[in-house]
């Protein structure tokens, strides 16, 4: 794993955006694996700026997202489809048919999971997967447990995850209890992975994920098994690493 501690969040956002833009310069038809949550917002802002300045184009790129809440319509303010539209897709030139996010409101969620895997098979593999990390070590919505599921699947959300994400919904009762998520196997098939974390509250889980045992009790620890992972941390999240 290549671990980089950046001086500021701006540096971190600019670095991640530069890696993504660099990939698109060499491979315009790349498939990007994208993430939601508060962590990637600044990276998306940078990418949108670079697009406006003519430094990068997404016109031939594909995007596949990690996850989506079950039970939210795609135009619900907190759906991840809406998140991606607001924070990235409507600011760049990616064709919306090139973007794949599971529909958490689909009648047949199993079919929706299979369709997500199929989209990755058709246009992938994922060239670069962007990841954040939950305080419990989840990646996508792969929650800690005795076992993990390899492929895209429906998952019951951990209460800690629902509590953490209540800030976006106003109240915990409004947070969905399930999500569709890429599996850890799906994630590990990406050619390159960038995990981004900032803030002191992520320091403990980052240390555990990067230096602790590889265990389903901390899904992010499985990244230790991947040959091409870049970890981008700010001083607060990576202060322990010296």
Residues recognised as catalytic: 67, 136, 138, 143
Please give the structure tokens belonging to residue 192. Answer: 């390159």
Residues that bind ligand GLP (CB under 6 A): 35-39, 66-67, 132-134, 140-141, 161, 165
Beta strands in the chain (DSSP E): 2-6, 31-34, 62-65, 67-69, 99-100, 128-131, 153-156, 178-181, 192-197, 229-234
> How many other C-beta atoms can be found within 10 angstroms of the C-beta atom of residue 76?
15
Question: What's the rounded Cα separation, in Å, for the pair 229 and 3?
Answer: 8
User: Rounded to whole angstroms, how far apart are CA atoms 38 and 16?
Assistant: 15
At 80, phi and psi to the nearest 5?
-70, -25
Contact 123, 31 (CB under 8 A): yes
Nearer to ligand GLP, 25 or 172 (CB): 172
- Cβ 138 to ligand GLP shortest distance, Å: 7
**Least distance between ligand GLP and beta carbon 88 (Å):** 14
CA-CA distance, 124 to 192, in Å (whole number)? 12
How far apart, in whole angstroms, are the C-alpha atoms of residue 18 and residue 8? 15
Neighbours of 99 (CB within 10 A): 21
Closest CB to ligand GLP among residues 60, 208:
208
- Can you tell me the distance from the alpha carbon of 57 to that of 109, in angstroms, rounded to the nearest whole number? 33
- Is there a contact between 139 and 33 (Cβ–Cβ < 8 Å)? no
Q: If you search the block for the tokens 């997202």, which residue do you land on? A: 65
Nearer to ligand GLP, 60 or 76 (CB): 76
Report the nearest approach of ligand GLP to the CB of residue 55 (Å). 25
Closest to ligand GLP by CB, 28 or 239: 239
- Least distance between ligand GLP and beta carbon 201 (Å): 8
Shortest separation between residue 85's beta carbon and ligand GLP, angstroms:
17
Assess contact for 154 and 60: CB atoms under 8 A.
no
């Amino acid at each position: 794993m290549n671990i980089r501690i950046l001086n500021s969040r701006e540096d971190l956002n600019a670095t991640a955006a530069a890696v993504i833009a660099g990939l698109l310069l060499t491979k315009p038809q790349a498939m990007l694996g994208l993430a939601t949550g508060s962590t990637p917002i600044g990276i998306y802002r940078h990418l949108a700026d670079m697009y406006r300045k003519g430094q990068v184009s997404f016109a031939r790129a594909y995007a596949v997202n990690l996850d989506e809440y079950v039970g939210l319509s795609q135009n619900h303010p907190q759906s991840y489809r809406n998140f991606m539209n607001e924070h990235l897709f409507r600011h760049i030139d990616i064709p919306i048919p090139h973007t794949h996010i599971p529909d958490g409101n689909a009648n047949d969620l199993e079919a929706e999971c299979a369709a997500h895997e199929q989209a990755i098979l058709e246009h992938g593999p994922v060239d670069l997967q962007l990841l954040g990390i939950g305080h419990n070590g989840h990646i996508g919505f792969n929650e800690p447990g005795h076992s993990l599921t390899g492929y895209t699947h429906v998952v019951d959300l951990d209460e800690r995850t629902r509590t953490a994400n209540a800030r976006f919904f106003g109240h915990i009762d409004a947070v969905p209890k399930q999500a569709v998520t890429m599996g850890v196997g799906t994630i590990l098939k990406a050619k390159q992975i960038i995990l981004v974390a900032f803030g002191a509250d992520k320091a403990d889980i980052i240390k555990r994920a990067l230096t602790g045992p590889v265990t389903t009790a901390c899904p992010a620890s499985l990244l230790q098994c991947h040959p091409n992972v870049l970890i981008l941390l700010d001083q607060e999240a990576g202060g322990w690493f010296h």
